[in-house]
Amino acid sequence: MSRPRSSRAALRRRSCWRWAIQSGLALAGVGLMLSSALASEPPPQRQRELTHLVRQECGSCHGMSLQGGLGPALLPADLRDKPADGLAATVYHGRPGTAMPPWQRFLTEAEAAWVVDRLISGFPE
């Protein structure tokens, strides 16, 4: 008696997963280095919310056009030499001893990485 189709499909999916996990582990080192580049894209609606958050709320210190204010400028040229991971950590955890607060109540680490990625490449309007 042959396996039901659904079970065969499940087996295929499992082997698929195994492959994915193995390749995933192999890529983990690279992935860490490129974490911001590989950061999962938030859905479009969330991207709009995050863009609004950055322009308006981050903008109260960094300027709505991100050219800096009480906080430093966040334009691509200003961020070029800074590691993306460190910038994402600053967004997420804040910077003790400075005016930069932690934003972790309002976005996930992956979203912070997405924001940094967008800042480095030129932030959407």
Partner 1 sequence: MRILFSVLLVAFLGACAGTPPLRGTGDLALIIERASGHVTLANTSSRQPYARIGGLGDLSHASAVYSRDGRYAYVFGRDGGLTKIDMLAGQVVKRIIQSGNAIGGSISQDGRIVVAQNYKPGGIKAFDAETLELLAEVPAEYAPGQFSKVVGLADSPGNKFVYALFDAGEIWVSDFSDPRRPVTQRFPAGQNPYDGLVTPDGRHFLAGLFGEDGVAMLDLWQPQQGARKILEKYGRGEEKLPVFKMPHLRGWSVAQGKAYLPAIGRHEVLVVDVATWQEVGRIPVRGQPVFVMARPDGRQVWVNFAFPDYGKVDVIDTLKGEVVSQLAPGKGILHMEFTPRGENVWLSARDDHKILIYHTENLTQIGEITADAPSGIFFSSRAQRIGF
Q: Report the interface residues with partner 1, using CB under 8 A.
A: 56-57, 59-61, 63-65, 67-70, 94, 99, 101-102, 105-106
Residue with tokens 């991971």: 85
- Whichever of 41 and 57 has its CB closer to partner 1, that residue is 57
- Whichever of 61 and 89 has its CB closer to partner 1, that residue is 61
Give the nearest distance from C-beta 104 to partner 1 in angstroms: 10
Q: What 3-state class would DSSP assign to 44?
A: helix
- Whichever of 1 and 70 has its CB closer to partner 1, that residue is 70
Give the nearest distance from C-beta 60 to partner 1 in angstroms: 5
| Amino acid at residue number 12 | R
Give the nearest distance from C-beta 108 to partner 1 in angstroms: 16
* Number of C-beta neighbours around residue 62 at 10 A: 23
Q: What distance in Å separates the CA atoms of residue 109 and residue 93, rounded to the nearest whole number?
A: 9
- Whichever of 1 and 99 has its CB closer to partner 1, that residue is 99
Given a contact cutoff of 8 angstroms between Cβ atoms, the answer to whether 84 and 120 are in contact is: yes
Dihedral over Cα of 7, 12, 16, 22: its sign: positive
